[in-house]
Amino acid sequence: MPGAPTEPDLMSTQPRPVYVIGAGPAGLAAAAALRGRGVRAVVVEKADAVGDSWRRHYDRLRLHTTRRLSALPGLAVPRRFGRWVARADVVRYLEKYAEFHELEIVTGVEVHRVERAADGAGWTLYASGGRELAASAVVVATGFNHTPRLPDWPGRDTFTGRLVHASAYRNAAPYTGQDVLVVGVGNTGAEIAVDLAEGGAARVRLAVRTAPHIVRRSTLGWPAQRTGILVRRLPVRLVDRLGALVARISVPDLSAYGLPRPTTGLYSRVRQGAIPVQDVGLIDAVRARRVLPVAAVEAFDGAEVVLADGSRVTADAVIAATGYVRGLEPLVGHLGVLDGRGRPTAHAPRSPAGAPGLYFVGYTNPISGMFRELALDARKLARALARR
- Architecture of the 7-146+326-387 domain: 3-Layer(bba) Sandwich (3.50)
* Per-residue model confidence (pLDDT) at position 325: 87
100 pLDDT band, cuts 50/70/90, is very high
* Per-residue model confidence (pLDDT) at position 3: 43
Of 142, 141, 134, 144, which is closest to residue 40 (Cα–Cα)? 134
Residue spans per domain, the chain:
7-146+326-387, 148-324
Q: Which residues pair with 183 in a beta bridge?
A: 207, 320
Q: Which residue has the higher pLDDT, 2 or 44?
A: 44
pLDDT, one tens digit per residue, over 226-280 is: 999 998 889 999 999 999 998 999 999 999 999 999 999 999 988 887 889 999 9
Residue 69 has pLDDT above 80, yes or no: yes
Cis, peptide link before residue 349, omega less than 30° from 0: yes
pLDDT, one tens digit per residue, over 350-365 is: 999 999 999 999 998 8
Mean pLDDT value across residues 332-346? 94
Q: Are 357 and 137 in contact (CB under 8 A)?
A: yes
Of 314, 8, 345, 330, which is closest to residue 161 (Cα–Cα)? 314
Question: Do 7-146+326-387 and 148-324 have matching folds?
Answer: yes
pLDDT, one tens digit per residue, over 197-232 is: 999 999 999 999 999 999 999 888 889 899 999 988
Q: Which CATH number fits domain 148-324: 3.30.160.60, 3.30.450.40, 3.40.50.300, 3.50.50.60?
A: 3.50.50.60
